[in-house]
Structure 1
Amino acid sequence: MSILQSPALAPRVLSVLRIVSAYLLLQHGSAKLFGVPHVDLFNGLPLFSLIGVAGILEVVGGALLLLGLFTRPVAFVLSGQLAFAYFLGHAPSGNVLVPFLNQGEAAVLFSFVFLYLAAAGGGSWSLDAWRAGRTPSGAGTAGA
């Protein structure tokens, strides 16, 4: 068995997927709410607009996912938010079945990654695993 087939590696790789996805989502939220990184489209964005609320969900949810805290429910909410964002913001421009053509591939990919995290948990390197009393060794923490 190679190192890539090691059962102890899966919970760690799950954590890496969670951390990287959360970091990328945080960039979307911080661009909307704080202007970092700056995107002209979000200049003067009202906080309680549809995009402003999406930014709040992305910042709060992204931070919780980055830490691996309440991973399953947060990932489920974010998965729904991103599916909603796809169908509301990208699909109306046409080619609903070809996200590449309506610039919706990031929303679709995030939605399915977060749906997976909602089912699989945060992995061994998460506050959820720590709160459950599991060690970061990876043994038995796949569904943390």
Structure 2
Amino acid sequence: MKPSTVWGPRVLSVLRIVLGLVLLQYGLAKLFGWPAVEMFENLKWLSLFGIAGMFELVGGTLLVLGLFTRPVAFILSGEMAAAYFIEHLPHSFFPILNEGDLAVSLCFTFLYLAFAGGGPWSLDAFLRVETPLQPDVSRA
């Protein structure tokens, strides 16, 4: 077997877990103040940032676990697109100038996960929730 065949799916799982942890830290910082980020002090839970924090907390946790990966990643992709257009685009078109490069990167990586799934190291795979995009006709 080629190394990409063996390691590709495993690295997909690692990517999902790391992205989930990155997103989870934003949710924790916004909603619970840990880690402490000055920008998120006195944040109201029902503000735009607070609601984004709820998506990040729940979505990040589900991504780390690999549970409902495809729909969660699709929703988070939309959240990151909204974050870019609402928070960053008004300052400049270019992500390098408006500090929106993380939002753009996360948006498209989450979109990739929405199609690729959570990989073999996920609860989706364990529970057989994850289905291929194309039916397996070899078993017919």
Whether TM exceeds 0.5 here: the answer is: yes
Instruction: Select 1:55's aligned residue among 37, 53, 59.
Output: 53
Is 2:108 the counterpart of 1:112?
yes
Cα displacement (A) at 1:24: 0.5
RMSD between aligned alpha carbons? 1.8
Q: Deviations over 1:13-67 (max 9, x none)?
A: 1000000001001111111111111111111111001100000000000000000
Partner of 2:23: 25
SS in 2 for 1:8: helix
Partner of 1:90: 88
Look up the match of 1:132: 128
1:75-128 Cα deviation digits (max 9, x unpaired): 00000000000000001012x1x2011010010101111000000000000000
List gaps (5 residues or longer) in structure 2. 134-140
Contact 1:14/1:142 (CA < 8 Å) preserved in 2? no
Contact 1:123 1:142 in 2 (8 A): no
Counterpart of 1:16 in structure 2 is 14
Identity, in percent, stands at 57
Q: How many residue pairs align between the two structures?
A: 133
Distance 1:16 1:32, change over 3 A: same
Distance verdict in 2 for CA 1:42–1:123, change over 3 Å: same
Residue 81 of structure 2 aligns to a residue whose secondary structure is: helix
Are the structure 2 counterparts of residues 24 and 38 from structure 1 closer, same or farther at C-alpha, using a change threshold of 3 Å?
A: same
The structure 1 segments of at least 4 consecutive aligned residues displaced by more than 6 Å after TM superposition are: none
Q: Which letter maps to 2:59?
A: G
Q: What is aligned with 2:73?
A: 75
After TM superposition, give the deviation of residue 2 of structure 1 in Å.
Answer: 5.8
How much has 1:142 moved relative to structure 2? 8.0
Structure 1 residues not aligned, in runs of 5+: 135-140
Check if 1:41 corresponds to 2:55: no
SS at match of 2:21: helix
